[in-house]
Amino acid sequence: MEHVSFEVERGTTLAILGGSGSGKSTLLRYLIGLEQPQAGRIDIHGVGEPHRYHGVPSFGVLFQSGALFSSLTLEQNLALPLTTWTPIRGATARRLCQAKLELVGLGPFAGHLPGEISGGMKKRAGIARALILEPDLLFFDEPSAGLDPITAVELDQLIVTLSRDLGITVVIVTHELPSIFLVAGSCIVLDKTAKGIVARGDPKTLRDESTIPFVHNFFSRSSPGVPAGQRV
């Protein structure tokens, strides 16, 4: 990956798109500080390189599987970062965790273990955990992967609602076309042959107007049995 440069406006949602091997997930790992790029610079809130694993994370991340700790209840999963990074304990911590779980529709499941809830619920709980430290930036890695279409749309709508109501900036890695059009205000398209960004802008505009073959094919993907080029 060589030619990647982009900015995300506060309060907006950016989707990182691309085919398999285009570097979407690698770029996300750079952005959240799990890996360091060999060259280049990442500024979050204008603070410089994201060496964030030695202090309070300034953003939340929803991993593809939800990445909840299976030995902890949902409430304990949320309480872990809260009690690690803040002096909040006891009843106040429980109230904050409960409120976040309620926010994503999981209030009654606070005492459940991740193994006892469905895949969609795990992702909702993952979002609640990502929100617990009140970040103003959230990263999502393929949030609707492995979910049925209805649950995927519900999750996308939750992301839109949270982003709008909480004023959070969202960066989402996905290749699900319905998610892209529902969630993203803008997007960048990565291509492995170009080793970087080949297009950027509003997804609907790119779909309708892009003349770049890769971008055109990406947005013109069709289900089996549907003639190629028919729009989703």
Partner 1 sequence: MRLQSENGGVDIRADTDGDRARLAPGGSFDLAHAASVALAIERMPPSLERCRSIDVDLANLNHFDGAGAVLLAQLIDRLEANGHRTRIVEHTNPEAARLIDLYRGRLVNPHTAEARARTPLARIGAAAAKLPDTLSDAFDFAGRCAVAVPKAAAAPHSVDWRALTGLVQEIGADGVVVTGAANLLVGLIIGLLGISQLARFGAVTYVPELVVVAQFRELGPLVTAIVVAGRTGAGLASELATMKVSEEVDALRAMGFDPLRWLVVPRCVALVAVMPLLTWIGDVLAILGGFAATMAVTDMTARAYIEGTISAITAGHLLGGLVKTPFLGLAIGLIACGQGLAAQGGAAAVGARTTRAVVLAILGVIVANTLFTFVFTLLGI
CB of 82 to partner 1, least distance (A): 8
- Interface with partner 1 (CB under 8 A), residue from 33, 114, 120, 126: 114
CA distance 57 to 67: 16
The helix (run of H) or strand (run of E) holding residue 160 is helix 149-166
User: In degrees, to the nearest 5, what angle opens at C-alpha 155 toward C-alphas 32 and 36?
Assistant: 10
Q: Does 81 engage in binding with partner 1 (CB under 8 A)? A: no
**Contact between 103 and partner 1 per CB under 8 A:** yes
CB of residue 32 to partner 1, shortest distance in Å:
20
Which lies closer to partner 1 via its Cβ, residue 48 or residue 111?
Answer: 111
- Residue from 165, 211, 223, 228 in contact with partner 1 (CB under 8 A): 165
In the shown chain, the binding pattern of residues 117 to 136 toward partner 1, with x for contact by CB under 8 A and - for none, equals --------------x-xx--
Q: Is the dihedral of CA 47, 27, 208, 170 positive or negative?
A: negative
Tell me the residue type at 109: F
Binding partner 1 (rule: CB under 8 A), the pick from 110, 127, 155, 190 is 110
* Tokens linked to 89: 């304990």
Q: Can residue 96 be called a binding residue for partner 1 (CB under 8 A)?
A: yes
The only residue of 71, 157, 193, 230 in contact with partner 1, by rule CB under 8 A? 71
For 2, what's the count of Cα atoms within 13 Å in the CB-facing half-sphere? 4
The verdict on 42 binding partner 1 (CB under 8 A) reads no
Which tokens in the block code for residue 67?
A: 């990445």
Q: Is 111 in the site for partner 1 (CB under 8 A)?
A: yes
225 alpha carbon, distance to own chain's centre: 30
Q: Does 230 help bind partner 1 (rule: CB under 8 A)?
A: no
Helix (H, G, I), strand (E, B) or coil at 31: helix
